[in-house]
Amino acid sequence: MTEQRLTAESVSEVLDLLIDGAEPEPNERARLTSLGHGLQCAANLKESRPADVELQVAGLLHDVGHRLAPGHPELHGVMGANFVRGLFGKRVADLVELHVDAKRYLVAVEPDYRDQLSAGSAETLVAQGEALEPEEIEAFIGREHAADAIELRRADEAAKVPGRQVPGIDDWRAVLDGLVAANHASSASRP
């Protein structure tokens, strides 16, 4: 594990971690950085779900756990979710966590999905437990946000295009700050 905190305390801390992710994606031979991958995923989700800022932010942040637990792809969803939960809220954290099981779900229920995985995704699938078992499928589809996690997972796999131009991290700063402010206002209004 790195010396990173287990929970983020500021948007700047999250951005620093993302910007540090400017090396190639784990196990990807293409010249795509972790940051570039997250930006592409967020852009894909902004295009498909323009009104769903939480889903877009989850797309941007979904692999932050790789920075927290390098070499442990089976932990990155949970680690990333725990890291972002306090700042960005339950739904964003749940989507970050569930995107791993969404891959395992799609491999289990769509015969051709495994063939669509990048080499890196196929390799990490093994460490993550392979396809969900029938009882795990039922548990997954019963989870709140499962459908959105599947959409995030599809955007994730499509976000691996070297050289693709998408809005940069500076374009997401105000979105991240706004979501943190909304999350804190919502938390303050709860009894």
Domain boundaries of the chain, sorted by first residue: 11-184
Cβ-contact 57, 148 below 8 angstroms = no
Instruction: Report the C-alpha gap between 7 and 157 in whole angstroms.
Output: 26
The pLDDT value recorded for residue 5 is: 63
Q: What is the mean pLDDT of residues 152-158?
A: 96
- Which residues have a Cβ under 8 Å from the Cβ of 65 and sit 6 or more positions away? 75, 76, 77, 78, 79, 80, 81, 83, 96
Q: Which CATH architecture has domain 11-184?
A: Orthogonal Bundle (1.10)
User: Which whole number is the average pLDDT over 159-177?
Assistant: 94
Q: Which residue, 100, 57, 58, is CA-closest to 77?
A: 100
Q: What is the mean pLDDT of residues 41-46?
A: 98
User: Which phi and psi angles does 23 have, rounded to 5°?
Assistant: -105, 165
C-alpha distances out from residue 113 to 104, 117, 157, Å:
10, 7, 10
Query: What is the reported pLDDT for 21?
Result: 53
Is pLDDT at 23 greater than 90 in this prediction?
A: no
User: DSSP letter string over 109-162?
Assistant: H-TTHHHHS-HHHHHHHHHTTSSPPHHHHHHHHTSTTHHHHHHHHHHHHH---T
Q: Which residue has the higher pLDDT, 119 or 174?
A: 174
d(CA 79, CA 96): 9
Residue 100, pLDDT score:
93
Question: Kind and range of the H or E element at 173?
Answer: helix 173-189
Answer with the residue of higher pLDDT: 143 or 1: 143
In degrees, to the nearest 5, what angle opens at C-alpha 121 toward C-alphas 112 and 93? 105
Question: Would the pLDDT of 51 be above 80?
Answer: yes
Average pLDDT of 52-57?
A: 98
Angle at 177 between CA 32 and CA 18, to 5 degrees: 25
- Over residues 86-118, the pLDDT tens digits come to 999 999 999 999 999 999 999 999 989 999 988
Compute the average pLDDT of residues 164-171. Answer: 95
Residue 136: what pLDDT? 96
